[in-house]
């Protein structure tokens, strides 16, 4: 029996002060993943007054089972790494809010962060490190059958498909990882990939190929998810032959990557065609005094170690900006 | 005594130090122990040995039937948590709260011991105004990182209002029950068998669902 203890959520929490809406902070950080937490450490070390707003501490890392490419750790559990990040932030007294969600930001020289619960936080500069969330397929039936055969989290929901026939949509790392989780329990797994090959890391593809109950459909997309009280059938299309067909399935896991959480900054800073915040090599956005870091930005490659490095850079840039403003 | 590794034991001890008052852990098992019953009993015994403020009572589901009925325990392994006066708030864990669920278990112990984060006044008013019996069942899998939040919210509601009871249910330990509720995604939160939520939701969404139950005039069976 494993115990995935998030020990720090129980300890020392008192060092976190609640956010003061009457004050103007030097730096407000939006996001509690590797980028946001690293930015907090760098900003606090400079002596800036800092507030951090996190919807989920740890972000995607908290939902990752094992990490094997964060330097210093040959292997570490996702929550454990988040705990260590948080511990390092806790070394300082920081104004911190977990659970709060940002509705919008306004830039009138002084930046205003509007939370969904009505609070408004003021700051001289901002670091946006709001990360990404699961991408949806956007087909008919998807929303209707969430939790009724449509799933996104394989480590959560794979056990419920023991002995069943399931489809995994996506041939990247998250898709292949989900297919591996499912192949261990399901009767049959069908991986549907829009390209003509998988794009996951070789080490993962090799592992998936060691199962005998996995089949692949390439150059294929899902057009519709059909069922009554439960998913029963999916309508797929081969994009080369333009042939549509139906397959009967018990479940469908959608693992087609991520979309940036940038809706609340639309119109304030420039975004690229993927919705990512465009940053230069100093993490500056198109708006003065607003910086961004991690998966929400246009920086190529979304990795924990890259996000953490970008968070550090954003904090140092924000500090330099504050010095020059005074 | 091998369920917890040394490192985890130390962490648990450290966490349990912040308990304010005593908490009683009541465990139901049976003579020929059911799947996971033995592990669950060892779990409560082991965790109970890590703090002087924890009392553990183990009952036999079959021979201690009256006690099981008093706590409305209908399946095992089961754990009920009671406060310092052994008052029952309807906080239940069905199945061993291992994996990520250790966090909701510790959270419930600390909160029941009196270490509670304040709830904003407006939400608290809504919680206190609930005057119908509400039974919340939260189906989880132990490998689900965002399930403990749903369990903790349900248990907190049970602590704050005596009309509310809340169960954590390990869906993979109670397969027929999970099938009855068509659980294929977790957390799945079932309110009085009538409404359900899938996924992690904030406290006010729980309260919105409970409000809708009121409109339907649904009561617990």
User: What is the tens place of the pLDDT at every residue in B37-51?
Assistant: 999 999 999 999 999
Backbone angles phi, psi at A103, to 5 degrees: -90, -45
Under the banding of pLDDT at 50, 70 and 90, the label for residue B139 is: very high
Catalytic, out of A26, A95, A97, A157: A157
- Residues A158-161: contacts with CB under 8 Å, at least 24 apart: A158/A182, A158/A184, A158/A185, A158/A186, A159/A185, A159/B141, A159/B143, A159/B171, A159/B172, A160/A251, A160/B141, A160/B171, A160/B172, A160/B178, A160/B183, A160/B184, A160/B185, A160/B186, A161/A185, A161/A186, A161/A250, A161/A251, A161/B184
**Contact check, Cβ <8 Å, A63/B202:** no
Under the banding of pLDDT at 50, 70 and 90, the label for residue B220 is: very low
**Residue B221: what pLDDT?**
42
Find where tokens 């304010």 sit.
B20
Residues of chain B that touch chain A, judged by Cβ-Cβ distance less than 8 Å: 3-4, 8, 11-12, 14-15, 18, 39, 43, 96, 98-100, 102-103, 106-107, 110, 141-147, 171-172, 178, 182-186, 188, 198-199, 202
**Contact check, Cβ <8 Å, A1/B3:** yes
Q: Assess whether the region B6-112 and the region B121-216 belong to the same CATH fold.
A: yes
**Contact check, Cβ <8 Å, A3/B98:** yes
Under the banding of pLDDT at 50, 70 and 90, the label for residue A318 is: very high
CATH topology of domain B6-112: Glutaredoxin (3.40.30)
**Contact check, Cβ <8 Å, A157/B178:** no
Q: Is A156 labeled as catalytic in the residue annotation?
A: yes
Check: CB of residue B42 under 8 Å from CB of residue B92: no
Superfamily of domain B121-216 in CATH is: Glutaredoxin (3.40.30.10)
Q: Look at residue A10 and tell me whether its pLDDT is greater than 80.
A: no
Catalytic, out of A153, A248, A263, A280: A153
Superfamily of domain A150-254 in CATH is: FAD/NAD(P)-binding domain (3.50.50.60)
Under the banding of pLDDT at 50, 70 and 90, the label for residue A11 is: low
Tokens of A76: 């570490």
DSSP state of B33: P
- The whole-angstrom distance between A243's CA and the closest CA on chain B is 31
Percent of chain B predicted with pLDDT > 70: 96
Tokens of B187: 């957390």
Burial class (CB in 10 A: 0-12, 13-18, 19+), A47: exposed
Kindly report, as residue ranges, where domains of CATH 3.50.50.60 are found in chain A: 7-133+258-325, 150-254
**Residue B176: what pLDDT?**
93
Closest CB from B106, B141, B184 relative to A148: B184
Instruction: Report domain A7-133+258-325's class.
Output: alpha beta
The number of helix segments (H) and strand segments (E) in chain B equals: 8, 8
CA angle B72, B73, B76 (to 5 degrees): 175
Q: Is A281 labeled as catalytic in the residue annotation?
A: no
Domain boundaries, chain B: 6-112, 121-216
């Amino acid at each position: 029996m494993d115990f995935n203890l998030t020990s720090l959520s129980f300890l020392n929490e008192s060092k976190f002060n609640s956010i003061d809406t009457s004050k103007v902070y030097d730096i407000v950080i939006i996001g509690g993943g590797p980028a946001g937490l690293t930015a907090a450490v760098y900003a606090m070390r400079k002596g800036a007054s800092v507030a951090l707003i996190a919807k989920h501490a740890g972000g995607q890392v908290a939902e990752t089972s094992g990490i094997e490419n964060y330097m210093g750790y040959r292997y570490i559990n996702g929550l454990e790494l988040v705990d260590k990040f948080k511990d390092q932030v806790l070394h300082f007294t920081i104004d911190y809010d977990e659970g709060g969600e940002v509705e919008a930001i306004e830039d009138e020289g002084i930046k205003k962060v509007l939370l969904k619960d009505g609070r408004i936080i003021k700051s001289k500069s901002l670091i946006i490190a709001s990360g990404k969330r699961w991408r949806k397929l956007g087909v008919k039936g998807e929303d209707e059958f969430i939790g009724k055969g449509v799933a996104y989290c394989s480590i959560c929901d794979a056990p419920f498909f023991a002995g069943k026939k399931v489809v995994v949509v996506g041939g990247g790392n998250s898709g292949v990882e989900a297919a591996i989780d499912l192949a261990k329990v399901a009767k049959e797994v069908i991986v549907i990939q829009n390209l003509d090959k998988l794009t996951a890391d070789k080490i993962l593809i090799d592992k998936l190929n060691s199962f005998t109950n996995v089949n692949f459909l390439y150059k294929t997309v899902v057009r519709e998810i059909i069922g009554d009280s439960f998913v029963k059938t999916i309508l797929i299309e081969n994009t080369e032959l333009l042939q549509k067909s139906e397959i009967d399935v018990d479940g469908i896991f959608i693992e087609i990557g991520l979309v940036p959480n940038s809706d609340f900054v639309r119109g304030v800073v420039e975004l690229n065609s993927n919705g990512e915040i465009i940053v230069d090599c100093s993490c500056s956005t198109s708006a003065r005094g607003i910086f961004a870091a991690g998966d929400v930005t246009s920086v190529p490659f979304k990795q924990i170690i890259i996000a953490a490095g970008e968070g550090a850079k954003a904090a140092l840039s924000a500090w330099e900006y504050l010095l020059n403003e005074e | 005594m091998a369920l917890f590794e040394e490192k985890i034991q130390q962490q648990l001890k450290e966490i349990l130090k912040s308990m304010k008052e005593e908490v009683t852990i009541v465990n139901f098992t049976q003579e020929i122990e059911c799947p996971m019953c033995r592990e669950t009993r060892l779990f409560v015994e082991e965790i109970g040995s890590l703090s002087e403020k924890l009392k553990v009572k183990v009952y036999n589901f079959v021979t201690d039937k009256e006690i099981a009925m008093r706590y409305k325990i209908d399946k095992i392994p089961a754990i009920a948590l009671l406060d310092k006066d052994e008052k029952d708030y309807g906080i239940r864990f069905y199945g061993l709260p291992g994996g990520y669920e250790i966090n909701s278990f510790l959270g419930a112990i600390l909160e029941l011991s009196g270490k509670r984060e304040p709830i904003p006044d407006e939400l608290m008013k809504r919680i206190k105004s609930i005057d119908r019996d509400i039974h919340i069942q939260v189906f989880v899998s132990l490998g689900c990182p965002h399930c403990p939040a749903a369990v903790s919210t349900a248990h907190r509601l049970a602590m704050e209002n005596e009309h509310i009871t809340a169960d954590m249910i390990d869906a993979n330990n109670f397969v027929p029950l999970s099938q009855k509720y068509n659980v294929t995604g977790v957390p799945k939160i079932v309110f009085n068998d009538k409404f359900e939520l899938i996924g992690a939701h904030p406290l006010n969404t729980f309260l919105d669902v409970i409000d809708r139950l009121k409109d339907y005039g649904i009561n617990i069976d």
